[in-house]
């Protein structure tokens, strides 16, 4: 079977006479032209191709799906706690700096206690939720 690419009644490419590497390159060029011609397809392709670069392991859900959801929830909450910790530290440092710039050294302990209680509330929230769960079981 002969495969020819014809444009305006002229043979542009005789597919069977090309080497396999040349066929691969011309196929990749055609794919690249298609990707570059459509902006929406280009965006989707970049996102999908970029996300594949970050995948190293594949996990399959086995066992109880609710236990998997609990693990996911704990992971998300631990990330939120790390962000919250540095957010509280940053906000406390900003407030303490503002009060010191106004020569108000008496409000520094109040600011520290305020942010310590805020962080303690964040840390104790899972304990309170678990406590309520055990009370109503």
pLDDT in tens, 79-88: 989 999 999 9
7 sits in which H/E element: strand 4-7
Q: Say what the pLDDT of residue 70 is.
A: 82
In this prediction, residues 80-98 reach a mean pLDDT of 91
What is the chain's mean pLDDT, rounded?
A: 75
Q: What is the DSSP letter of 122?
A: H
pLDDT in tens, 30-74: 666 666 666 676 667 666 666 666 655 555 555 666 777 788 888
Q: Say what the pLDDT of residue 1 is.
A: 47
Tokens matching residue 38: 């459509």
Q: Which residue, 31, 30, 32, 6, is CA-closest to 14? A: 6
């Amino acid at each position: 079977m002969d495969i020819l690419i014809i444009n305006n009644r002229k043979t542009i490419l005789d597919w069977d006479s090309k080497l396999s590497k040349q066929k691969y390159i011309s196929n990749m060029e055609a794919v690249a032209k298609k990707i570059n011609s459509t902006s929406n397809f280009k965006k989707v392709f970049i996102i999908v191709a970029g996300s594949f670069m970050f995948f190293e392991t594949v996990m399959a859900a086995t066992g109880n799906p609710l236990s998997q959801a609990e693990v996911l929830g704990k992971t998300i909450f631990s990330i939120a706690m790390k962000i919250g910790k540095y957010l509280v530290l940053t906000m406390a440092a900003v407030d303490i700096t503002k009060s010191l710039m106004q020569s108000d050294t008496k409000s520094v302990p109040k600011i520290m206690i305020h942010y310590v209680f805020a962080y303690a509330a964040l840390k104790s929230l899972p304990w309170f939720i678990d406590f309520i769960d055990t009370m109503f079981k």
